Chains A and B, each alone.
Chain A
Amino acid sequence: MSETERLLDWNRREFLRGSSLMALATLLGGVRLIRPEAAAAEPEPAPTEKVKVGLIGLGQWGRELLDQLLRLPQAEVAAICDNYPAMLRRSAKRVPDAMATEDYRALLENKEIPAVVVATPTHLHRDIVLAALEAGKHVYCEAPLAHTVEDARAIAQAALKHNRQVFQPGLQLRSDPQRHFLLPFVRSGALGRMAMARAQWNKKTSWRQTSPNPEREAAVNWRLARETSLGLLGEVGIHQIDQVSWFFGAMPTAVHAFGTVAFWRDGREVHDTVQAVVEYPEGLRLLYSATLANSFESEAEIYYGSDAAVMIRGSSAWMFKEADAPLLGWEVYARKDAFYKETGISLRADASKLRAQGDQAQAQAEATDPPVYFALQSFLRNCREVSSAVQDFVSLYGDSDPQALAEYLAKEVRRLPAADALDGYRATVLAIKASESATTGRPVSLPAELFELS
């Protein structure tokens, strides 16, 4: 085939793919699987206004958050905090100009910093978050919000009370563009009648960190003690289980979980391997499993419908169709990947990139950012939006009508997608109950009122 013929052929294929995807988008009620016009109209990015942010908690995950914040053009890491001096010094090298303190109260007193990210151990969230909200800060609090229902409720209620500040739980998948692309696809019925979901997180890692003395050992390995940790179901499973609740559009009615220390028999109290059956209305169930003993197949969420299954792995997703499923049309031209004896049809949010590259092999190398990047991006943007909306409103009407301000913020503020206080509370309560079930080995009923903030 000559170069000209090859180009003509490529153009024809791209045209067909484009028109078919457009047809699907129409059928799905506006799902933007392809957006050539929007892509062409994409405006050049404006110089970004930075938000000064303080990071509290500089352990393993706190440092990951620091890395992501340093990548975000919207962020200025103005302060870092950890009550362990060695951790503070370690991160201070990355941000030498930032205020470094061992006392979170000193950070909260800094009026120049409007936003904080709380990444301390879960059982230490409550006091810090409540003080931060009281100090007028926007708060990003890692998930789970707390290790007890009482603490989670206190945090969520305080967040709702301080409604002129942003409160975002670290349910990062709720900000992930790939999940937002897939949500209407899954809910549209494209999978046929939904039958069940399955999710897993497999990683060979001990969770135990080295420490110079017994006090530090207890502090740094808080995840391994029952009184401070919700274990795998709470610290890891919360994200995937919450995603399933989100996609199903319902909270579960019961959970029965199981756990064992299968491999890391080092005296730890929390399980290194867990399974859970999470029951949703209309007979839907999620089968969840996680282990620290083996890494095979890593992490995934799979939704099974009568016409197709959708598997999400990281920032990629595929559809596996049943032989008797109706033809959607666009999938004929979509990229496909082999999975043992199955063929996965690629589902991608940014199909326009694939068109631009015109090369399926290249398109396979997706250079997307992790969900936590998008979660922090949403947080910073929303902080800016809410702060300026409050300022604008008060400049017109004064500050004597909190109800009117709340209505204005609810109606007019343009927020990027993110979990809110109620999402965080519900996901945390579910994680606590699942962990409780794994500990006792007994099923736990989840009445609807359990998920309400009274």
Chain B
Amino acid sequence: MLAHATAWLLLLSLSLQAAEGWTRFGPKPGGKSKIRIEGTSTIHDWQVESSLVGGTLEVGPNFPKNQGEVQPGKLDVRAEVFVPVSSLKSIKKDGTPYSTAMDDIMHEKLLKTQHPRIVYRLQELTLKGSGGAAGTYNAEAVGDLVVAGVTNRITMPVQVQVHPDNHLLISGEVGLKMTDFKIDPPAPKVALGLIKTGDEVKVLFQWEVFPR
């Protein structure tokens, strides 16, 4: 067990020290990446999901490599993440498809044609401490989120998991308001305005990336 742990720490260490101390990460097909947006309406809650979370992550020399090296403070990290708007689909609570008509409404509200991607550009990642489990760290991310062409700077807690095979899983959640991105919450005319979608949504994500 000790030999196994030493081996992966060595591997991780060697890999992370490559390219002048910076290592580039990216997603792989079939990974655990997922983004989920949860919202409310006057009749029922709704949720949309996508398994396509793209982009690149680059970590520098001071990125934590194991539990013992945690040093709270700003980390050398660069990241740009995107989600194709057309890959977001409405689902029921049990995960089965909800409605293609709802998908169309959502895509229209997100201005899919003009802005086919939701983009997040990390500005700053600050390590807060260990996350409890081995190789897990808590951090605070500050970045620019671009939805429907409107940019807002957001701050959110994230959790970073460094896996033995050297890949990372970054997860977190944040509350947002549609109106902050100049999106009017949908209120179907067919329901005479009686059905209204709540302005506030919760975004949950996990992004699995592998060394390139």
Contacts and interface: CB of A to CB of B under 8 A. Distances in A.
Interface of A: 37, 40-49, 381, 388-389, 391-393, 395-397, 401, 404-405, 407-408, 412, 414, 416
Contacts of A49: 113
Contacts of B194: 40
A281 to B, nearest CB: 30
A102 B191 CA distance: 49
Contacts of A396: 27, 29, 52-54, 84
Nearest to A39: B190
A404 B105 CA distance: 29
B43 interface: yes
B69 to A, nearest CB: 31
Contact of B87 (A44, A389, A397): A389
Across the A-B interface, the 9 shortest Cβ-Cβ residue pairs = A404-B29, A46-B104, A396-B54, A392-B84, A388-B86, A46-B108, A392-B87, A44-B188, A43-B188
Interface string B105-143: 101100001000000000000000000000000000000
Interface string B190-210: 110011000000000000000
B28 interface: yes
Contacts of B99: 43
A407 B30 contact: yes
A402 to B, nearest CB: 11
Contacts of B86: 388-389, 391-392
B84 A43 contact: no
B174 to A, nearest CB: 22
Interface string B25-49: 0011110000000000001100000
A397 B28 contact: yes
Interface string B86-111: 11010000000101111111011000
Nearest to A45: B101
Contacts of B185: none
Contact of B190 (A42, A381, A388): A42
B4 interface: no
A43 B54 contact: no
B61 interface: no
Interface of B: 27-30, 43-44, 51-54, 84, 86-87, 89, 97, 99-105, 107-108, 113, 186, 188-191, 194-195
A187 to B, nearest CB: 19
Contacts, number: 78
B30 A40 contact: no
Given A45-B104, A393-B52, A397-B27, A40 B43 contact: yes
A86 B141 CA distance: 67
Given A49-B113, A414-B89, 6 more contacts: A40-B43, A42-B188, A388-B87, A393-B52, A408-B29, A408-B30
A76 to B, nearest CB: 15
Contact of B103 (A48, A392, A407, A414): A414
Contacts of B191: 40-42
B51 A412 contact: yes
Contacts of B195: 40-41
A374 to B, nearest CB: 13
Contacts of B189: 44
A404 B44 CA distance: 35
Given A41-B191, A393-B52, A416 B29 contact: no
A43 B43 contact: no
A393 B44 CA distance: 31
Contacts of B54: 395-397
Nearest to A38: B99
A46 B107 contact: yes
25 contacts: A37-B43, A40-B43, A40-B191, A40-B195, A41-B43, A41-B191, A41-B195, A42-B101, A43-B99, A46-B101, A48-B104, A381-B100, A388-B84, A391-B84, A391-B86, A395-B84, A396-B29, A396-B52, A396-B54, A397-B28, A397-B29, A401-B29, A405-B29, A408-B30, A416-B100
